[in-house]
Every structure is written in C-alpha cells, then in structure tokens.
Structure 1
Amino acid sequence: MNVFEVTLQPASLKNIVIIGCSGAIGKALVEALISRFPDASIYGFSRTASFHSLEKKPDKYQEARIDYEDEASIAKCAALAAETGPLDLVIVATGILHQGEITPEKSLRDLSAEKMMALYQANCITPSLLAKHFIPELNKGSTSVFAALSARVGSISDNALGGWYAYRASKSALNMVIKNAGIETARRNKSAIIVGLHPGTVDSDLSKPFQANVPAGKLFRPLDSANYLLQTLLQLTPNQTGKCFAWDGQEIAP
C-alpha cells in the first residue's frame, strides 16, 4: 500500500501530546484519549496551575506547565514529550475568541491594534511555534499527526457574514501556516499529516456569549466534540496534509 493511503492506526498510537489540556476541549481530548488508548503514553501541557480532576490518573498520563510566550519553554516541552520515543499524535487545543476587553468586532470601528495582536499571538503565533518544535519530533516510521484547532470562520471563501475581523484573520493565518508546514514536512517525513481542525460549536467559556444563535443539535458537549475530532483524525491520510477539516470529517475550503 502506498504510504499516502495509510491512515493513523490506533495500535500505533504510543506517544500522544495534548497542548492546552486545561481548556474545555483539551480536557475532553485527554479523557477521550485515555479511554480509547489506555496503553499510550500521554502528555498534557498547559500554562495554568490547575489541571485535570481525573478520578484515577493513569500512570502513563503526565502533565507539565508550558509558557506559550517563551520559545525555550516550548522547545523544552517538545523534548520532554519525545524522551520516550517519537510522537504519534500532537493536538494543539489552544486559542482565544474573547478575553476581558477583547470581543469579536462587529465593524471596522471596533478594530484595535492591541486586540488584533492579542488574537494573532494566541491563534497563530503560538500554534506556529508549537509546530516548529513538535513537528520534528513526529514519528517517521509510521503515520503520525500534528493537528491544531482552527475554525470554519477562518475560511475566506466560506465567509458570507463578515465581522469578527481579528479572529477570522488569525485563524486564516493559522490555516496558511498549516498549509506551509504540511508542504515542508512532507519533504522530510512522508508519513506525517499536518492539519487544522474545526471542533464545531462546543459548550465552553469560549462559545457561551454566542450560544443563543447556535442551531438546535449543533452545540456539542466537549467530550462529544473530542470524540468526533479523534474519529476524523483516524480517517486522514498523508495526502490530506496541509488541509483543514471539520469535526465531521468534511474538508473546509480555504
């Protein structure tokens, strides 16, 4: 079978990393992965002091702090995760839509340099630096994945409503980084898959101010979204690297 037709095999998932493990989706991903792959070594990284409240934390699950604004910290965490072997799955579950005075813009009048820089830092620069240090640690002997949470609103061709300038632009920029990283990584690691993931609208602090507009049945519990995302990842092949996919496996247009 051609390497580009090979999917991520559950049996090969031995070393897994979740970055942003203290957020709603990050926590759910950790729980789903522990349940699905009990024999895998799983690292959870977060910048906060409080982590999981798992009733029974498996011996193979470890957590550590990471400073997203300190590249040395990112590099140290990548090396730590790869100490026991190459990485089979890395998921970046970080990002912001609103925070404090930062809210999605309804018009050009709401734009500010400070807000735009904050969203670019969280939604594009941080995942880019994580890609820089974690992608080289991906397994070259079997199919491996680096995935970062993106958003459907980052699609330029799918934008029919406008607004949300900084968030849309930061996610579009992230999608370009994913595309670039997919092209470059394929030259050195043909079995690697580099993708963006749209988790759907998840019942979390990020979506709470906007949940009134979510259609019935489209507001997901974090654990449901996590399982949808994992199912999507298990169906991808290396010839789909550099693209962005929704929770249901559908490719999102650039």
Structure 2
Amino acid sequence: MKPLAVVFGANSAIAQAMIAHVHTAYHVLAVSRHESMALPEGVEPVQCDYSESALQALTQRIQQRDEPLTFVFCAVGVLHREGSMPEKKLAELNSEQLTHYFAINSILPALILKHLIPIMPRSEPTKAVVLSAKIAGISDNRLGGWYGYRASKAALNMLIKTASIELARSHRKLCLVALHPGTTATPLSQPFTRSLPEDKLFTPALTSERLWSVIEGLGPEDTGRFLHWDGSDLPW
C-alpha cells in the first residue's frame, strides 16, 4: 500500500507538474480552492477554502484513511493579482495588499503545517516541503522592492525554521524545509520574465523534476533548511 501525500495549491503550474512525480510513490490528495485541472489517474482532487474549519475537516478526513500521511507539499502563494502588482517603493505600500501577501504567503502555509503535521506518523520518516523564494533571504537583499512579497516569504521562512526546531523534538523523523523552485514559466512569474534569458527561466516540468530530485534525497537531518532547487543552502 502506498503512503499518502497531500499537495496544496494543486492548481498551480509547479504543483501540477510535481504531482506527476509524487503519484508514482504516493497516493495523492490534490488540494485547491477551485476545481482541480486534469490530474493523473488515481489522484484525488479536494476543494478547500483553506479556512481553519476546512483544514480541520480535511485533517479528520485523512485520519479516516488507512494510508499513513508521510508527505506534505505546499505550493500556495501569491505574487500579484488583477490591479495589484509588487510594490517598488515605500510610498506604494498599503494595508490591504500587505495583509493579502501575509495571509496567503505566510499564515496559510503555517496553518497547513499546524493541522497536518500532528497526524503524520512519528515512527517513520516523513517530509513537509513548503515553496519559498530566494528573494526572501534578508541577507541576500541587494535590490530592494517587492516589499510585501519579500516580507511575507521571509516571515514564512521564520515560521518554518521555528517549527522545525520544535518538531525536531516531537517528530524526530520529520524533515521540514523551505524550498526555492527557481524562476519558472507560470502565471505567477509571467509579468516579470519578458527580459529574462531563456536559460534562467525554467519550464514547470523541469522545475518539478529538479525539486523532486532534491526532495527524494531529504532526510530528518535536513530539517530546518532553506534550500535552492539544486539542493544547496540559501542564506536566510
């Protein structure tokens, strides 16, 4: 019997490509706000509004299954939306947009971990991977701009790092990491890639292949790391 994996943000281009790898080793629940796009045979779509009550209901649903939940992959995130682009100047900041960034990029992944990790087995190796971004690295910020996105992803990194310290005591076989996928040709990055060289813009298929290669090699000793898509450590 295959173990269970839950992929959040399953309608994103990276998650869609990642599911093709994950479902070879796991039975997969593909969680998204809206009806999922075409999925490989055997992958179960799950609609979820990501409220705490919905996450709690999902947790209870998973607990009723026979397969152990050993892998969580979170691709939930936002960079821009209609009428709202990343802020280039301090004067462009506004409360509503900052709140939206933190709600999606920081708080939601943290709540997913809050609800899902307690039902992961402690007696066997487990993995929880959250997509972050290289530009969240405070020590690597030399260009400025993109205030809300940078700050919300930096907050996400802190939440992951803090959780990894706590969970290393209670879930000693868990590996919890933040993973940077690289600039990928997706709707999220599309407005910002026109001048990017082709060798710096990856297809979702290539990105997922690289990420899966890193994920497969992770063990409990790697918990708490902030990783580049090539498996190297990124500066916080």
**TM-score band, normalised by the shorter chain?**
over 0.9
1:1-254 equivalence runs, <5 A: 14-34=3-23, 36-37=24-25, 40-49=26-35, 51-54=36-39, 57-58=41-42, 61-68=43-50, 70-82=51-63, 83-254=65-236
Deviations along 1:131-154, one digit per CA (max 9) or x if unpaired, are 100111223222111111100010
| Structure 1 residue 214 displacement after superposition | 2.5
Residue equivalent to 1:3: none
In structure 2, the CA distance between the partners of 1:14 and 1:132, relative to structure 1 (3 Å rule), is: same
Residue equivalent to 1:7: none
Indicate the SS of the match to 2:140: coil
How far apart in 2 are the matches of 1:78 and 1:218? 38
In structure 2, the CA distance between the partners of 1:204 and 1:234, relative to structure 1 (3 Å rule), is: same
Moved over 3 A (4+): none
| Structure 1 residue 80 displacement after superposition | 2.1
CA contact (8 A) 1:32 1:223 kept: no
| Cα RMSD (Å) | 1.5
| Structure 1 residue 123 displacement after superposition | 0.1
Q: Which letter does structure 2 place at the counterpart of 1:42?
A: V
Unaligned runs of 5+ in 1: 1-11
Indicate the SS of the match to 2:99: helix
How far apart in 2 are the matches of 1:213 and 1:115? 26
Q: Which letter does structure 1 place at the counterpart of 2:31?
A: F
In structure 2, the CA distance between the partners of 1:218 and 1:187, relative to structure 1 (3 Å rule), is: same
How far apart in 2 are the matches of 1:28 and 1:193? 22
How far apart in 1 are the matches of 2:119 and 2:68? 6
Indicate the SS of the match to 1:229: helix
CA contact (8 A) 1:13 1:89 kept: no
Indicate the SS of the match to 1:120: helix
Paired-residue identity, % = 35
CA contact (8 A) 2:2 2:67 kept: no
CA contact (8 A) 1:198 1:246 kept: yes
How far apart in 2 are the matches of 1:252 and 1:198? 9
| Structure 1 residue 185 displacement after superposition | 0.9
| Structure 1 residue 52 displacement after superposition | 2.8
Q: Which letter does structure 2 place at the counterpart of 1:48?
A: H
| Structure 1 residue 239 displacement after superposition | 2.2
How far apart in 2 are the matches of 1:220 and 1:13? 30
Q: Which letter does structure 1 place at the counterpart of 2:52?
A: E
Q: Which letter does structure 1 place at the counterpart of 2:180?
A: H
| Structure 1 residue 13 displacement after superposition | 6.2
